[in-house]
């Protein structure tokens, strides 16, 4: 997760009247590099549709992972469930109560910082830390006697585990990690089923917890959003990473044909489309995007994500500024930019702050550069930085719309709501409006009418969504519908 500052008043429009000619020329070049016009948006979207279809057939770079979430909740699911959310910056543990009132829920939660050293550390240390956090949570929120009683009668709290990394699932309660993303690179986990590793850490502490479902945050976003609004047909994440999920029919997913499921049975697909265009066929990459890819832990992977996700926006901004200082127009001339040279020293919140500076003289941006980077920028230099932030933020929002449009085209969806979550979508200024404008351009909607595909803030997918999917799994076990469920012991 990218940490953004509190939202401020709408930003002012800048003026280039006092910008010298050499800086103006650099700004024009940056506009050329980072602007994605309607023609390119449509080209990207058409290729996106083909790659989504290729993923259904076990080909292409987009995995299109079946999740074994077989349909939407009806709003009448009940019970108490745990949810564990492992994503970018934090580990979150929730207890969710689904009452008898349709579409309602109650939640209590705690966040635990994910130590940076764990992200590139040892596998066992990771699972031990996660189990420690779960233990702290249930011991704080439950009486010790209750926990002992649960263990004595072998009653366990059902848990939905939001594991927000690409994973192949033959069953809903297991998942083989395909590859680490979001800056994680822990040895000994890729290619392995993470469920037994997690369950072993729980068993070591004798915690009364049953892993009922392993899900992706995007699938959880789809399910949680539909739970409160049944017009939601797509779930998206635009945060540290990017992804989407939607409901398909089993007959349209050849890779699960061997399961002999009814062709009209619904199944949620976790696209993992951050990997779109890893082959670099259509995305409008700049030389700076190439540097980000080459210097990343996984060069050649997650091409789409590296152009739109919050983890990379600040680094893109930083690389451009360093290049302008060293090679182009002498930006920040005769100043020490050693802090700016540190890789990933800026995140998306830095750009957000610049875009929201409400003052004509960009005084808040000036203070930001002085405080964070020890750089004292001139007014023209600040104007360039402001325009660069706008260009990077706008490109990310416009490209993000291509994935949504591609799913709509693939499924012939003409009207729906899209539930979106993630720090960039929720907090980056103008991201929603820029993305909506791009959708209009891609799908050729008439001017002056309400957008038929409306991207809105989602419900809590990684918390409430995980609990709902655990509830749906248990409901299926009770009904005898065991497709895609490996271990039913302890579920009912």
Residues tagged active-site: 164, 179, 217
Name the DSSP class of 190: T
Parallel, antiparallel or unpaired: strands 416-421 and 232-238: parallel
Calpha distance 107→98 (Å, rounded): 9
Q: Nearest Cα to 66, choosing from 218, 193, 172? A: 172
| Secondary structure (DSSP) of 393-411 | HHHHHHHHHHHHHHHHHHT
Provide the sign of the torsion angle of the four alpha carbons 404, 405, 408, 414, taken in this order. Answer: positive
Name the DSSP class of 167: E
Element of type H or E holding 149? helix 144-152
Give 94's contacts (C-beta < 8 A, 6+ positions apart): 82, 83, 84, 85, 107, 108, 109, 463, 464, 466, 467
* SS3 state of residue 315: helix
Calpha distance 157→199 (Å, rounded): 13
Calpha distance 84→199 (Å, rounded): 13
Q: What are phi and psi of 106, to 5 degrees?
A: -120, 145
Calpha distance 125→130 (Å, rounded): 9
> What are residue 270's DSSP bridge partners?
65, 245
Q: Nearest Cα to 136, choosing from 215, 211, 207, 212? A: 207
Calpha distance 450→380 (Å, rounded): 39
């Amino acid at each position: 997760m990218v940490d953004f500052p509190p939202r401020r008043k709408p930003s002012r429009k800048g003026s280039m009247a006092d910008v010298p000619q050499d800086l103006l020329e650099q700004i024009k070049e940056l506009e050329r590099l980072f602007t994605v016009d309607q023609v390119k948006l449509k080209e990207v979207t058409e290729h996106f549709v083909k790659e989504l279809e290729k993923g259904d057939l076990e080909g292409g770079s987009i995995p299109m992972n079946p999740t074994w979430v077989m349909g939407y909740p009806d709003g009448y699911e009940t019970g108490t469930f745990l949810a564990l959310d492992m994503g970018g910056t934090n580990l979150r543990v929730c207890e969710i109560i689904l009452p008898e009132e349709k579409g309602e829920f109650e939640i209590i939660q705690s966040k635990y910082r994910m130590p940076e050293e764990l992200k590139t550390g040892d596998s066992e240390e990771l699972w031990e830390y996660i189990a420690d956090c779960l233990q702290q949570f249930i011991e704080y929120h439950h009486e010790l006697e209750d926990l002992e009683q649960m263990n004595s009668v072998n009653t366990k709290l059902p848990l939905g585990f939001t594991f927000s990394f690409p994973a192949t699932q033959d069953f809903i309660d297991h998942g083989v990690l395909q590859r680490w993303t979001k800056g994680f690179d822990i040895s000994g986990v890729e290619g392995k089923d993470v469920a037994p590793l997690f369950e072993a850490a729980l068993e070591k502490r004798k915690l009364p917890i049953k892993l009922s479902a392993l899900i992706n945050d995007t699938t959880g976003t789809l399910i949680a959003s539909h739970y409160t609004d049944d017009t939601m047909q797509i779930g998206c994440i635009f945060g540290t990473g990017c992804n989407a999920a939607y409901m398909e029919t089993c007959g349209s997913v050849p890779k699960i044909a061997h399961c002999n499921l009814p062709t009209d049975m619904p199944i949620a697909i976790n696209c993992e489309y951050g990997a779109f265009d890893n082959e670099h066929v259509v995305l409008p990459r700049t030389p700076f995007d190439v540097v980000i890819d080459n210097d990343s832990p996984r060069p050649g992977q997650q091409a789409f994500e590296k152009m739109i996700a919050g983890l990379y926006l600040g680094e893109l901004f930083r690389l451009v500024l360093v290049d302008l200082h060293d090679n182009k127009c002498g930006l920040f001339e005769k100043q020490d930019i050693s802090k700016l040279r540190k890789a990933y020293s800026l995140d998306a919140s830095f750009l957000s702050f610049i875009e929201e500076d409400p003052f004509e003289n960009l005084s808040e941006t000036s203070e930001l550069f002085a405080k964070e980077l020890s750089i004292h920028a001139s007014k023209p230099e600040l104007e360039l930085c402001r325009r660069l932030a706008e260009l990077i933020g706008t490109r990310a929002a416009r490209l993000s719309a291509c994935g949504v449009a591609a799913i709509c085209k693939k499924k012939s969806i003409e009207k729906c709501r899209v539930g979106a979550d993630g720090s960039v979508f929720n907090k980056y200024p103008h991201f929603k409006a820029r993305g909506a404008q791009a959708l209009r351009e891609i799908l050729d909607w008439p001017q002056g009418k309400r957008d038929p595909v409306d991207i809105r803030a989602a419900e809590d997918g990684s918390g409430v969504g995980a609990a709902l999917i655990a509830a749906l799994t248990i409901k299926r076990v009770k009904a005898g519908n065991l497709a895609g469920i490996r271990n039913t012991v302890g579920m009912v």
